[in-house]
Structure 1
């Protein structure tokens, strides 16, 4: 089944199917090994496979659902859901970065999974339940480490859990890698597209995208979501902790109040003074003390239980029960001085009033104390029954709650974050990336590529029913309009270029026509120049200068090499005989005159427009220097060798060859053999030897091809 043929409902069905299959793999394998009593768990194979096929979202959902299902029979299993979720996240990251392709990286993945499963799981167990090796899979191993290596219980259990988990995760990862390899490519591609997850990102495309995108939009969203989750989690945890603390204090206060009320019932308030004076000798004292011990034992949270008579000189002991720590209790009648922390309450205590629960931290420790006035038959307060509960009990209770809260909160937060990121990726990042990629291709490619980029943009077919879709439609229309505009511009530019070339050719022909030429000389020399330049390029000569663009400029410049003849008299141009020295000096001036004319045109053009890519530079070089000679005996400047521009050196060979093989008013055409003899004889003297060598390779072909224009030839004047 092809991706394009899937409906939205089918995509959702396949996505749910992947999660369900991963969940069943986790549950079935874990139940099998549990029934067999094997020292492994195999409860994360489905999670890792889901991560390899679809990324983070299906992995974290499958992992958490596995723990939630096992939590039906054992609620504590639910608190370990955060571990399964973290394993799913790690597996998705490892798959994205290719960790499951090489053994060293597979080893790193196994180690990370083991630290998460064994290490974090062991620490979580410690905070939730403390350490009592118990009867788990790792219990015998933990006990052996504890007895033989003399580790603490915590580190013995931690070490055992990590080692066993390494064994477990090695099997799980091996099974996952082998299974993934045999899953059909079409299935892998299907799930990766459903979850917009690409485990095989093309590195070239990644580098190309990085050239334009310094910070990924998805990465920014991830950072924002993580920051929001951390802030929300911190706020929720602090709020929950404070509320739970209040509830815990209230719960333990209720326990202490229950203890004091029950104790007040069994003590006769009218006999308080008798109990203080006679102690254990008083009738019924020991029976009352036994009842008080029974009450204290019924509420194991109670640390101290005592009855004091509060007078101006201090606290007179009536009953003082022995604490669990084994501290020696005070004897009846003992006088205990007031603790400094209770001094603010003395007026109320001496007046026999009710006292609010007190939290104190003194010589007896950090305690929650509840006082209950003990009244006689006339309703007067004669003593106080007090119960102390150690705040450590409350803190331990709060710590267990806090760990449970964090594990549940962050586990669910990661699932919610994965869902949010999937929605953001699907609804914002993926469409925007698609538009950006197509737009970049459109902006930086040639016309044919622009058309394919526009087709790529059309194929996105974005329907998000929001601003993203509106932007997509606007961008698509803009690109279509831009392509049409570019095509019109290119067509207009092509017409202008052709018109410009025609104007130049006709202008050059008008100049040549003054010496009875039809203008075929300029067409033929342009063809020779192009052919020589291409041959030099093919042979690898002058690689830093000769490229396709430069050759086009040479061909366009060639017709202007004799433009300076416009300043030479017709009498000199058309003179059939030999020119005098004065006439020849005027004839030679056509090089400098041509340079002046073209330089003026270039300066004027550059004032109005930026023309960095025009060919007037080469035209000026050809017009000015095409009669210079390699040995420095040419005109008008007498420069030599490579000081002569390459364009002029090429034109020199083309110009002389065409003059030799063409018929002029003062001579008959030379044969090909004689013309080439003159050219080769001038190598190193008149001409650049490298150019002559290249010309020799193509000269016969060029000579034969010139017959195409021979019918149009007319007697030509000297160049």
Structure 2
């Protein structure tokens, strides 16, 4: 127990320490906010006390925006409404307008709108449209215009009487006019006070304005990740606000309908007490002549007036031929039905007619017909024997729900967005201080490091002497940033700092090692290709020969001017490097199939064909796993060769049945080289074809199996390639 108590005490001490640290770091912002609130409240109270026809309730908001930026200004703007809301709760709903003024004041101040007379006039008009125009419409949406009341009353009456405008337009224009005077005084006073504030005071408060910083930070803000975060949060807030409003609206409507149902039930239950169920038929037949009929009708009138929103109250006897009127009260000069008259069934009640004819209770009904949008509650009037002799019905008007919902929705959204904007501002500023500024500093330092590294690499490539002084200065700049946070940003800075130092210390070694590693990897891949090819006992030096043929065909095409823009010297070199890897997919084929002495079955051939796609996958994985670790562009060509060297010009090949120029050029060249070598090479199951027979097959396949352009170029060099191969084979095997 003692252990837990000590842990609680320790936690409380830590919380107090954090709060104390926050208050100490935020002391300037808190001081500015307090002064801003005083400048909002005191002049407004003085204006009321001396009867000055001005509001003067956002002087502190504008001045705080000039000195401290968005967050303090928003807090001050909404704070004055929160303070006024203690005595007058309706003031809270106007807090969102004060926030708009705070945001606009900050935005326009930073763009120099307080330094020019003409821009000041624009600023005054904008403020007047927010406070007077939007505020007036806001008031109308909530409560309707109180024409001829308040500070703007003389102007509203003058516009109405002299200009013959309607009351809405007159009141709106009057509110804007009075707000122009009010905002003129506020803007001029703010500019005057700001001008006479000593510079050292402005500097003292400069840390409150989070937008200030060095040039690198300001430049980076234009494309900052904070902009994306701001956009995402704003979208989220709008969506959440709309969702909250819709949910609240539905809940409010359900609650209102339940209240209306309770009201209607109260009306019908009260009416049931006043009516003698045993005399219903007498009331229908005799009407007003029946003893006590008029007295009951007056009681029903009193009941209807006692319950708000009740529009109609009536008593009907439901029969097969219609509704027989027992009582039907007059409404707003509209005469009710006479006793004994029969009314047709309303279409909206037809589904409930069987129950009504049986004298059963039914659920409340909402209908929208010629009588309006109504909620109807039916209560059975039963006699002493328990039989339903009539129904007492109350219709409650639903139209007021729309007005109430609109007022509720506006109040909900104004409070939601007012408070959420403050929360967003706090989150933005914390993110800016805790994430964006440190990341921007590191980004700026990284740019300098990258530039120095590029210059060092260039010097190494060109054989120049390395001048590491600028790079050392950049590394020192990183170390001097002094980011001390203990979160991921702090860890990132620590690793970044260590990385830049390592980069400086090992840049020469890394450069040399990259060259050696690149060469080593190329050799390993080539050896791997030869090892895979060696599994096929029939192919011999197939990969070397096809590589020679591919290079020779490509150079011949280049010399003949074919495929200009593609067959460059660099591309041909890549083809030669890539060619040995074209059959690397055979590693996935069983030795039993690969070295079978005889013709393959259909199933075996289907497996053999998979070596194209398997080869592409293997090479693609090499490229993906390398992730740019070395420069091996030729691997992209080798992927194309491996995948498509068995495709045919007419589209009958495999694996994808490509046709014509859909087949990559590298694969079209390899197809000729691969088949030619297979034809003239000796296998355990066949002797090599003669040059003439091999070329006859190649030329026969031009336009069907092979690209005819490639075949034509190959015919110009094929004899020399064949002779060179034959000569080499004789030298290596003199016994033959």
TM class by smaller structure: 0.5 to 0.7
Corresponding position of 2:211: 197
CA distance in 1, matches of 2:26, 2:295: 73
1:464 to 485, 507, 512: 485
Corresponding position of 1:226: 234
Q: 1:311 to 1:246 in 2, by over 3 A?
A: same
2:100 to 73, 81, 86: 86
CA distance in 1, matches of 2:148, 2:90: 15
Q: 1:190 to 1:336 in 2, by over 3 A?
A: same
2:197 to 180, 183, 205: 183
Corresponding position of 2:658: none
CA distance in 2, matches of 1:24, 1:418: 22
Does the 8 Å contact 2:217/2:440 carry over to 1? no
2:445 to 433, 438, 441: 438
Q: 1:163 to 1:454 in 2, by over 3 A?
A: farther
Corresponding position of 2:121: 107
Which secondary structure state, in structure 1, belongs to the residue aligned with residue 395 of structure 2? Answer: strand
CA distance in 2, matches of 1:287, 1:278: 14
Deviations 1:547-601 (A, max 9, x none): xxxxxxxxxxxxxxxxxxxxxxxxxxxxxxxxxxxxxxxxxxxxxxxxxxxxxxx
Deviations 1:214-256 (A, max 9, x none): 7321111100110111111111111111111111111111111
Corresponding position of 2:25: 11
The answer to whether the aligner puts 1:129 opposite 2:150 as a matched pair is: no
Does the 8 Å contact 1:443/1:450 carry over to 2? no
The answer to whether the aligner puts 1:321 opposite 2:342 as a matched pair is: no
Deviations 1:308-342 (A, max 9, x none): 11111111111111223x32221111111101111
Larger radius of gyration: 1
Deviations 1:625-660 (A, max 9, x none): xxxxxxxxxxxxxxxxxxxxxxxxxxxxxxxxxxxx
CA distance in 2, matches of 1:361, 1:9: 59
Which secondary structure state, in structure 1, belongs to the residue aligned with residue 305 of structure 2? Answer: helix
Deviations 1:94-143 (A, max 9, x none): 12222222222222222221111111111111111012325311122212
CA distance in 2, matches of 1:338, 1:170: 65
Which secondary structure state, in structure 1, belongs to the residue aligned with residue 57 of structure 2? Answer: coil
CA apart distance, 1:188: 2.5
The answer to whether the aligner puts 1:478 opposite 2:485 as a matched pair is: no
CA apart distance, 1:455: 4.8
2:344 to 333, 337, 341: 337
Which secondary structure state, in structure 1, belongs to the residue aligned with residue 428 of structure 2? Answer: helix
Question: What are the within-5 Å matches in structure 2 for residues 516-531 of structure 1?
Answer: none
CA apart distance, 1:205: 8.0
The answer to whether the aligner puts 1:357 opposite 2:338 as a matched pair is: no
Does the 8 Å contact 2:69/2:208 carry over to 1? no
2:174 to 142, 151, 160: 160
Corresponding position of 1:294: 302
Q: 1:8 to 1:293 in 2, by over 3 A?
A: closer
CA apart distance, 1:461: 2.0
Which secondary structure state, in structure 1, belongs to the residue aligned with residue 124 of structure 2? Answer: helix
Question: What are the within-5 Å matches in structure 2 for residues 620-659 of structure 1?
Answer: none
Does the 8 Å contact 1:63/1:81 carry over to 2? yes
Does the 8 Å contact 2:148/2:156 carry over to 1? no
CA apart distance, 1:32: 1.0
CA apart distance, 1:438: 2.6
CA apart distance, 1:448: 5.9
Give the TM-score, by structure 2 length.
0.62
CA distance in 2, matches of 1:255, 1:46: 48
Question: What are the within-5 Å matches in structure 2 for residues 302-701 of structure 1?
Answer: 302-324=310-332, 326-444=333-451, 453-483=474-504
CA distance in 2, matches of 1:76, 1:435: 48
Instruction: Give the total of aligned pairs.
Output: 478
Q: In angstroms, what is the RMSD of aligned CA positions?
A: 2.4
CA distance in 1, matches of 2:390, 2:261: 20
Deviations 1:35-88 (A, max 9, x none): 222111110111111111111111111111111111111111111111011111
Corresponding position of 2:162: 148
Residue segments in structure 2 that go unaligned for 5+ positions in a row: 1-19, 453-466, 512-736
Does the 8 Å contact 2:217/2:441 carry over to 1? no
Q: 1:62 to 1:449 in 2, by over 3 A?
A: farther
CA distance in 1, matches of 2:446, 2:21: 27
CA distance in 2, matches of 1:175, 1:48: 10
CA apart distance, 1:479: 2.8
Does the 8 Å contact 1:64/1:81 carry over to 2? yes
Corresponding position of 1:254: 262
Corresponding position of 1:59: 73
CA apart distance, 1:343: 0.6
Does the 8 Å contact 1:441/1:449 carry over to 2? no
More displaced stretch, 125-134 vs 451-460 = 451-460
CA apart distance, 1:424: 1.2
CA distance in 2, matches of 1:331, 1:366: 24
Deviations 1:453-507 (A, max 9, x none): 54543443223321111111122223334445679999xxxxxxxxxxxxxxxxx
CA distance in 1, matches of 2:425, 2:487: 22
Does the 8 Å contact 1:195/1:422 carry over to 2? no
CA apart distance, 1:345: 0.7
Deviations 1:358-403 (A, max 9, x none): 0001111111111111112222111111111121111111111111
Q: 1:487 to 1:106 in 2, by over 3 A?
A: farther
Residue segments in structure 1 that go unaligned for 5+ positions in a row: 1-5, 491-719
